[in-house]
Chain A
Amino acid sequence: MTLRRKIPYILLAPGMILLILFLVLPLVSIIFPTFFDGGFTLANYISFFMDEYNFGIFWRTLKISLIATLFCVLLGVPTAYYIAQSPKKWRSLLMSITLFPLLTNSVVRSFAWITILGQSGIINTTFLNLGLISKPLTLLYTEFSIMIGSVYLFLPLMVITLVGIFENIDTSIMEAAETLGANRLLAFMKVILPLSVPGIIVGSILVFTGSMTAYTTPQLLGGNRNIMLATFLYQNATALGNWKGASVIALIMIVATLIVMKLFDWVAKRLDKRGEANA
């Protein structure tokens, strides 16, 4: 190979080497031992899923991620559409309002919900003062608090992803639909929504995989009883000293992420109404 042909590879080399040394090798080094116990074995993974407690954590993680994704779609789609439709001077303000939480530390964002949902939090004090309840409700350290925290964490991401999509949809097709007799809601459901499916899928992948692997929110809002995969990994590695168990969870998280991405992509391909040219 001449030098000229080598240049592109020389430019890629530092990144490749660093990624192999400090991402691939470390991952292989923790995951490899989980498959060997004298000889090749899947026992670690089979026993993980056979164990009711472990499976419960896996199931809770999927459930909370799915519900959080659903709420992010339900709230994110109308909000993003609202932003995309608003006049330009308002749009940048609304985008800033959406971006601000996204760029704020997730500890701060989870902590906000501790002050709202806690035993002596805002909801409980208000309700007690109003005489609506006689003793504080248990809102914090529940699956509910993790869900609300996850929606709070990822909703801005969904909105930002979708605004760009809605802005690129030609508004005249909406007018055309209305001229042809559809009311606004029907036109939105039949015309705009199908066109925005790819964006909704991208946003959903981000929210779903994000909630599934999130550490901060379940750690701060979940308490000891509502452990999710990430907090379980941390607990295994630190408190329980079970390194192999932690590595098993690590691979499960990676594989689950990849499966979710593939699954959503597959759904997107089936739902994409834009035709082959744009797909």
Chain B
Amino acid sequence: MRKNVGLNIIAAIVFAFLLIPLFIIVITSFGTNSTIQFPIKGFTFEWYSKVFSNASFMDSFVLSLEVAFIGTLLAVLVGVPAAYSLARHGVFGRNWVKSFFLSPTIVPGLVVGYALYQFIVIQFQFPIIQGLLLGHFLICLPYVIRVVGSTIEQLDFSIEEVSWTLGCTKLQAFIKIVLPNITSGIFAAFMLAFINSFNNIPVSQFLSGPGVTMLPTNLMNYIEYNYDPSVSALSVILMLGTIVLMFIIEKTLGLASIS
């Protein structure tokens, strides 16, 4: 690459801009002072143990994992057949149907959560947790449709036709031929949907109640009244989680598959 000073400077500033704020959080999580300060005085792991001994954080962490997992799983179960149908069959109004399946991305997350809360929790008296699961299913579905859909579109249709000719039923062909060929796409969609569901705040904002609070919402409420390094410590733990997931994705699919 030939040198271009202006370009290098802008890129350096942007990467610094992206990383330094997160780096500062890491440093402040080790400070001994009871409010966050930078540079820190002293060094302690106390805030990390505070996070792990905080039952409210731990409960909401488990809930977030569960909701993200179930929401994503439901989106995969519903989305993969739909993506297959949209890619393979001459469905009437195909583009319209596809836009419909992607529509949860157009509706702002806060509105999705608010509408679900009003409709199923207030009007139909569903428990909040069910609303939460449905909301997270809705945000996961477009990822599955998009990622799995493009994987299926890249798959050579003729190998499926061959298996039909050789006596496979459509279901057998799907399970034995199509599914093994799109597992990486499904896995990529799963990871992407899971991460986004786990990190999502707007959808869960209305759908929380006693004992039903997602981790990001819980952290956000905590920040509004507290300014101590345990927030930094929890943030660092979440960042470590992100690094682990990125590492897994890089080793299995390559990060390019989700970007």
Contact = CB atoms under 8 A, between A and B. Distances in A.
Contacts of B220: 107, 216, 219-220
A193 interface: no
A103 B82 CA distance: 27
A8 B152 CA distance: 15
A84 to B, nearest CB: 10
A108 to B, nearest CB: 4
Interface residues of A, number: 82
Contacts of A47: none
Contact of B205 (A7, A76, A100, A234): A234
Given A75-B10, A103-B199, A115-B28, A25 B119 contact: yes
A248 B258 CA distance: 35
Interface in B1-37: 1-2, 4, 6-8, 10-11, 13-15, 17-19, 21-22, 24-25, 28, 35-37
A152 B17 contact: yes
A8 B246 contact: no
Given A26-B116, A254-B111, A78 B246 contact: no
Interface stretch (B49-57, B100-108, B153-161, B176-184): B100-108
Contact of A8 (B4, B85, B201, B227): B85
A103 to B, nearest CB: 5
A97 B12 CA distance: 12
Interface string A94-135: 111111110111111101111110101110010000000000
Contacts of B85: 7-9, 11-12
B86 interface: yes
Interface stretch (A14-22, A36-44, A264-272): A14-22
Interface residues of B, number: 86
B106 A97 contact: no
A75 B12 CA distance: 11
A138 interface: no
Nearest to A258: B106
A81 B90 CA distance: 39
B147 to A, nearest CB: 14
Nearest to B141: A15
B195 A29 contact: no
B134 A22 contact: yes
A220 B223 contact: yes
B206 interface: yes
A250 interface: yes
Helix, strand, loop or mixed for chain B's interface? helix
B110 A152 contact: no
A8 B91 contact: yes
A67 to B, nearest CB: 16
A109 B219 CA distance: 12
26 contacts: A12-B85, A19-B100, A19-B141, A26-B118, A75-B17, A79-B15, A82-B11, A100-B19, A100-B243, A104-B22, A105-B199, A106-B199, A106-B201, A108-B235, A109-B22, A114-B223, A114-B227, A115-B25, A115-B36, A118-B227, A155-B14, A155-B18, A216-B201, A216-B202, A233-B111, A250-B111
Interface of A: 7-9, 11-12, 14-16, 18-19, 22-23, 25-27, 29-30, 75-76, 78-79, 81-83, 85-87, 92, 94-101, 103-109, 111-116, 118, 120-122, 125, 152, 155-156, 159-160, 163-164, 184-185, 213-216, 219-220, 230, 233-234, 237, 243, 246-247, 250, 253-254, 257-258, 261
Interface of B: 1-2, 4, 6-8, 10-11, 13-15, 17-19, 21-22, 24-25, 28, 35-38, 77-79, 81-82, 84-86, 88-91, 97, 100-101, 103-104, 106-112, 114-116, 118-120, 123, 134, 137-138, 141, 170, 195, 198-199, 201-202, 205-206, 216, 219-220, 223-224, 227, 231-232, 235, 238-239, 242-243, 245-246, 250, 255-256, 258-259
